Structure 1
Amino acid sequence: MVGPDCLYGYPTEAALVLARFRALYAIETEAATLPADERRALREREAVPLWESLGAWLETDTATRVLPTGKFGQALGYLRNHWDALRLYLSDGRMPIDNNDVEQLMRQIALGRKNWIFVGSVGAGERTADFFTLVASAVRNDLDVWAYLKDVLDRLLAGETDYHQLRPDVWRAQHPEAIRQYRVEERRDKADRKQARHKMRTA
């Protein structure tokens, strides 16, 4: 949306917008290991004022004079046209600031597409998609995938109908022994390194 290419023609204005987005992502790095409610509170405290400041700047004469045909003008137009959608993550600590993680997951679909041509039928394809969704959800919650799937499938076959209890995040809280701690530590280390890089850039 707003990248280094936008600096051409309006370097001062583009640098101002980029600085705000760097600050917003620095907040997300800090919030990465927090529970959802604490992440939302942090966003309310630190990210909301940045968005309000950015929104006020978009209404200034400086911003409105930017030509809409250039890359920076197009980026500002995107900001204005998708303002509410871009800020939606502020209302829910479970939501990410962007969809980068989802796009990375979609690459798995693209890589496996040729293998799934021979899934057999539409019904089999739907069941396969459901199964892959369960696996991906377990991975994202740092669970032992085999332990999670076996318990869920056993309970479903036994007649379990309380599907809320089978959600990976709910199941995770009930089965701490099935959490792959090394994945939690990897995620924490990655967040710490990312936060350190942000601090170096803003220093």
Structure 2
Amino acid sequence: MKAAGNWVELVEQFFALCDDIVRRRLPPTSMLVRAAVYALKQRQELSVFLIDPRVNIDNNPAENAIRPWALGRKNWLFVGNERGGEKSAIIASLVATCKDNKVDFKAWLEDVLTRLGTTRHDDIDSLLPHNWTPARN
């Protein structure tokens, strides 16, 4: 297969290859056929990064964000209870989202906590780390 000049071409070549694999007379239980069928069923989802620049081609940032939590998994046995674990997971998610968006978590949290009570429900998305603009004093 010739190297693609851009992502769109490469993705099209990948799905053409999947189509070719499915059309061959291989057993439907073959792992290769099953993988190709799965990829074709997920074509729209697997192609989102081509039209939305905010979507990464892979999930490496997500994997890297959860690595410290996975490494410390045994430590989480001591969060107290299931509810404490859920709250810890929410905070970890907010910290990782701020980090991914180059937002100072402490500054964001202080600002958002002061604005939550006065922000309209329709505008709550503006307080998410990727949309956040600090309030002016």
Fold match by TM threshold 0.5: yes
Instruction: After TM superposition, list the pairs within 5 Å mapping 1:33-52 onto structure 2.
Output: 46-52=6-12
Structure-2 change in CA distance of 1:153 and 1:115 (3 Å): farther
* Distance in 2 separating the partners of 1:144 and 1:96: 22
One-letter amino acid matched to 2:63: E
* 1:165 aligned onto 2:104: no
* 1:82 aligned onto 2:43: no
Structure-2 change in CA distance of 1:58 and 1:127 (3 Å): closer
Match of 1:178 in 2: none
Partners of 1:137 and 1:168 within 8 A in 2: yes
Q: Cα distance, 1:106 vs. partner? A: 2.2
1:113 aligned to which of 73, 84, 104: 73
Q: CA RMSD in A?
A: 3.2
Instruction: Report the identity percentage.
Output: 37
Structure-2 change in CA distance of 1:159 and 1:115 (3 Å): farther
Taking structure 2 as the reference length, the TM-score comes to 0.70
* Distance in 2 separating the partners of 1:104 and 1:69: 34
1:136 aligned to which of 90, 96, 109: 96
1:21-67 per-residue CA deviation (whole Å, 9 max, x = no partner) reads xx6xxxxxxxxxxxxxxxxxxxxxx4323322343345559x94899
User: Residue 131 of structure 2 aligns to a residue in which SS?
Assistant: helix
Aligned residues: 128
* Distance in 2 separating the partners of 1:57 and 1:114: 43
Match of 1:182 in 2: none
Higher relative contact order, structure no. (Cα contacts within 8 Å, ≥ 6 residues apart): 1
Taking structure 1 as the reference length, the TM-score comes to 0.50
Q: Cα distance, 1:77 vs. partner? A: 5.2
User: Residue 53 of structure 2 aligns to a residue in which SS?
Assistant: coil
Q: Cα distance, 1:154 vs. partner? A: 2.5
Q: Cα distance, 1:164 vs. partner? A: 0.8
Instruction: After TM superposition, list the pairs within 5 Å mapping 1:65-76 onto structure 2.
Output: 74=32
* 1:103 aligned onto 2:63: yes
Structure 2 spans left out of the alignment, 5+ residues: none
1:117-167 per-residue CA deviation (whole Å, 9 max, x = no partner) reads 2212222222222111111111000112211111112223x4544321211
Structure-2 change in CA distance of 1:144 and 1:58 (3 Å): closer
